Amino acid sequence: QVQLVESGGGLVQAGGSLRLSCAPSGRTFYAMGWFRQAPGKEREFVAAISWSAGMTDYGDSVKGRFTISRDNAKNTVYLQMNSLKPEDTAVYYCAADSTYSTVFAGTCDYWGQGTQVTVSS
């Protein structure tokens, strides 16, 4: 069975950085990405990336601060989060699918369990 194993979440001060990792087990995925959801808020698109990283997209709220990347030899996708703000506090979910459009839209078939990111001010 496919699992998306996430790591790297935690507590960080505003202005700091964290790097999230997501390592699928069982198969590879053409497209992967990250979403987040804060309490009382709708799920929000964060970033997506294609197999060779030829396509990337970022949500407006994180563009310029977050960078998505992947290491296919390790079958791992990363989310480097810099200049973190308290409003970045959320549960971050890894997402994966065989098409870029479904990951971008959040209609993909595979999701991680979520990892908590808390940014203090």
The yes-or-no verdict on residue 1 having pLDDT over 90 is no
What tens digit of pLDDT does each residue of 8-44 get? 999 999 999 999 999 999 899 999 999 999 999 999 9
What tens digit of pLDDT does each residue of 33-86 get? 999 999 999 999 999 999 999 999 999 999 999 999 999 999 999 999 999 999
DSSP state letters, the chain? --EEEEE--EEEETT--EEEEEEEESS--SEEEEEEE-TTS--EEEEEE-TTSS-EEE-TTTTTTEEEEEETTTTEEEEEE-S--GGG-EEEEEEEESSHHHHHHT--SEE---EEEEEE-
What tens digit of pLDDT does each residue of 78-108 get? 999 999 999 999 999 999 999 999 999 999 9
Which pLDDT does position 17 carry in this prediction? 98
